[in-house]
Amino acid sequence: EVKLVESGGGLVQPGGSLRLSCAASGFTFSTYWMSWVRHAPGEGPEWVANIMLGGSEKSYVDSVKGRFTISRDNAKNSLYLEMNSLRAEDTAIYYCVRVGSGRTFEYWGQGTLVTVSS
């Protein structure tokens, strides 16, 4: 069974930092692209970042470029999102997602809530 478990969310002040983690199990982690997708209340989900198999190729939505960094540790079956210079508009549930062969988001974790507020 594919399982994705996020951690690291919480309340942070504007300008602060957080590091999200995702523990993956039930599949060969190193053979899948992975993504972070966030979902703010009242809006549609928003893709945040992708990372390819070895971790060298990454892409980001424009609104987080230069502030967020996606990374992975295939030996630990783990995905990470380092978030700096956080803004109120980054407030959302952040999901760890496995990317499938149809360029789609096949499996989602339960999410971790990030709240940016003073």
Binding site for other proteins (CB under 8 A): 37, 39, 43-47, 59, 61-62, 95, 100, 102-111
88 φ, ψ to 5°? -55, -35
Minimum CB separation from other proteins for residue 59, in Å? 6
Of the pair 39, 87, the CB lying nearest other proteins is at: 39
Tokens for 88?
A: 């109120």
60-68: long-range contacts (C-beta < 8 A, 24 or more apart)? 63/89, 64/90
Nearest distance, CB of residue 34 and other proteins, angstroms? 13
Closest CB to other proteins among residues 23, 108: 108
Q: Which of 40, 46, 44 lies closest to 97, judged by CA?
A: 46
Shortest approach of other proteins to residue 10 CB, angstroms?
19
